[in-house]
Amino acid sequence: MSAIVGALASAFTIHEYGDARVAAVIPARNEARTIAEVVRESARYVHEVLVLDGGSRDGTAEQARAAGARVITDRGRGKGAAVRQSLGETTADVVVFLDADGSHDPTDIPSLVRPVLAREAELCVGSRFSGGTDELSVTVGQLIRTIGNISMNIAINRRFDVALTDTLNGFRAIRREVALEVKLAEDRHTIEQEMVMKVLAYGYRVVNRPTHEYARLFGTSHIAVWREWPTFVRCVLVNIFQSQRAPLTHGVRVKPALETWMRESTPLESAASDS
Ligand SMILES: Nc1nc2c(ncn2[C@@H]2O[C@H](COP(=O)(O)OP(=O)(O)O)[C@@H](O)[C@H]2O)c(=O)[nH]1
Ligand SMILES: [Mg+2]
């Protein structure tokens, strides 16, 4: 079975992306034990690999550079700030974000990129619901995270009338110009939910594709659930209320809305053009 999976993975060539350029962005803070492998594996599926280093003191930057990544030091404000910074550090058409801790499998990169290149969506988020996760709820912290994830999904699905199964997974591909347009502002891990909500609020499309989440190979998550859950709740509420008060319609949905408005305001012209 693994031979078949290996053969399928090796069947991939970067030419599949046509003229589009794809970058992998790997935020990393003290991940020296896994970063080199993640960089090397990711490089098989993208044109360039960027590592956004969060002031690591364990040699993460050196390991990443030696493995072939371009390393940029972030401004010390958190993972979200590093994600935002990375958008200005590459000119790639599509950016794929993945963790440096070995929990995301780079062989899944093409399946996240494909819907974006096929113009099926502007953001494709890996789904642990359909792809499975090894980070099961065996500790109280993990249980709270799981309940939090599901609650966020439900809130976002209800507000934006979508049916996403995972909105918080950091493993995702986005059209870079859209990521820049929606004006992301979060500095912390809340960037994941903010990105989904802002992309939807601007009228762009978000889809999920199955990706498996492996348990972090070493160390512990940088999210202290007990301390940070109010930040996540604040972020989801702010974005839900803001998008309700001032709907942003710069994206693809503006076209049908404009067309309806124009048809209603100029019935004669539109009737003439219909015939
Ligand atoms: N550049 C940068 N990366 C960070 C920072 N904090 C966490 N990361 C990285 O972001 C990724 C996700 O963090 P992680 O702790 O695994 O969060 P989790 O997967 O949600 O538990 C990992 O690769 C971390 O090393 C930071 O402040 N700056
Ligand atoms: Mg992780």
Which residue's CA is minimally distant from atom 13 of ligand 1?
222
More confident residue, 84 or 132: 84
* 211 Cα–ligand 2 center, Å: 13
| Residue in 87, 96, 117, 116 with CA at minimum distance from that of residue 41 | 96
The alpha helices in the chain, defined as continuous H runs, are: 2-10, 35-42, 60-66, 79-87, 109-117, 128-131, 140-160, 176-181, 191-201, 225-245, 254-265, 267-274
Residue carrying structure tokens 């819907």: 115
| Residues, Cβ < 5 Å to ion ligand 2 | 99, 101, 103
pLDDT at 116 over 90: yes
pLDDT category at 102 given cuts 50, 70, 90 is very high
Q: Counting atoms of ligand 1 from 1, which one is nearest the CA of 60?
A: 25
Tell me what the mean pLDDT of segment 248-257 comes to.
48
Q: How many CB atoms lie within 10 A of CB 54?
A: 23
Tell me what the mean pLDDT of segment 133-151 comes to.
80
Q: Counting atoms of ligand 1 from 1, which one is nearest the CA of 222?
A: 15
Tell me what the mean pLDDT of segment 111-123 comes to.
98
Helix, strand, coil abundance in the chain, percent, nearest 5: 50, 15, 40
Which residue's CA is minimally distant from atom 6 of ligand 1?
79
- pTM for this prediction: 0.85
| Residue in 21, 57, 169 with CA at minimum distance from that of residue 104 | 169
pLDDT category at 215 given cuts 50, 70, 90 is confident
pLDDT digit string (tens) for 163-211? 999 999 999 999 999 999 999 999 999 999 999 999 999 999 999 999 9
pLDDT at 257 over 50: no
The domains of the chain, with CATH numbers, are 12-274 (3.90.550.10)
Tell me what the mean pLDDT of segment 68-88 comes to.
98
pLDDT category at 130 given cuts 50, 70, 90 is confident
Tell me what the mean pLDDT of segment 64-89 comes to.
98
**Pairing label, strands 94-97, 22-28:** parallel
- Ramachandran angles phi, psi of 206, nearest 5°: -125, 135
More confident residue, 266 or 67: 67
38 alpha carbon, closest ligand: 1
**Cα–Cα distance between 20 and 32 in angstroms, integer?**
31
**Cα–Cα distance between 70 and 89 in angstroms, integer?**
10
Tell me what the mean pLDDT of segment 17-42 comes to.
98
